Structure 1
């Protein structure tokens, strides 16, 4: 590997982005997520009108079509995968220190969080909390060559999500979409690191990489295309706004 190549190498093929590094431990918030060790993770673009629900089979088919998997190979053997309606031609990466990040973004399904919602009192969130991941979506993949303690690996998801929300608020006015997902990875053989907060080298590099990759992919997605950022949730095809209110209470104090 030369100095110009990222430690987490990526290639795009047939609507799939593969991010690879041997024997990496990943933690995914996407479909069939959790912790897994594999040589690669994937970001898969689904077509307009996509309605498949057999996601394991669909992902395996797409990876095989892209030449990233053998026929009949179980998806669970292939590494975590994210799904998005955004095109992989707009995927962008960024690197800083030990960290590399990749992002794709579409904001056709913004999820607004107003600080003074119209809803009064306590009421339930509507039924039907599952939404097919085919509308827009902001997907972020982060990898570090350091070895993170279990808590630091989990915390890196929070660091990446915070950076994603801050960047999106600055660029779009929304902290995210209804289907955002994140994968983070680390090298178990690397230099041991106990923490990954924003004041650490890993945390600061992650924040910078997510910001730069996300801003770049947003520009690629919206500049020179027919797509436009929605000015309001009501202008978006699949936007939602959390207008309900929760009930605030004070925890009990025991002597």
Structure 2
């Protein structure tokens, strides 16, 4: 029952995450207007807005205009539900579990926004950084100094890379949002989280990019780095005990 309750709660929050993903980069209010179909503008009734279930009942289409509803919506809800279960299973009923669930949720939202728009909103990045620093004061597995050190180790190298590309090469090698994202990641997971984000994130990014490179036979394409940094940190944090043996045998 604990897992079921957490899954339901996570799915409900996932429905809100969909609102953030769609509205934040467009500069729209996340409070009003109420949820509506982007195709016809019809208000979505509460019984058509039940996480996962409504999508299945409506067969992925708007009740009013029959426009297709992106599969992403139920997938985000499902992901949020699974993140709630994962956080509880790994960290138990604890403050740390709550922190990690919020952390993973923010990474999910930031990743999808970055994937769509190549933007990482300051409201989430800097809000996440503040969240990491403040919650470190109350965690038993992590200190404020760990949080501060992680934020600096995450942000400073990326800031130097960003500055080099902008000042020397007159182009953006990476976005300044990635600098803030790394500070956020480090504030919650410390230096290890930063290392996982960079190392594993680079591997995941390369695996994604290689087929595109071979297909197009050139390097003239842009890939958002945020989703891969987030995925690398997520995998490293969840499997830290196993991966640490690899890096420190």
Structures share a fold, TM > 0.5?
Answer: no
| Higher relative helix content | 2
| Higher relative strand content | 1
- Output the TM-score relative to the length of structure 2: 0.30
- Output the TM-score relative to the length of structure 1: 0.29
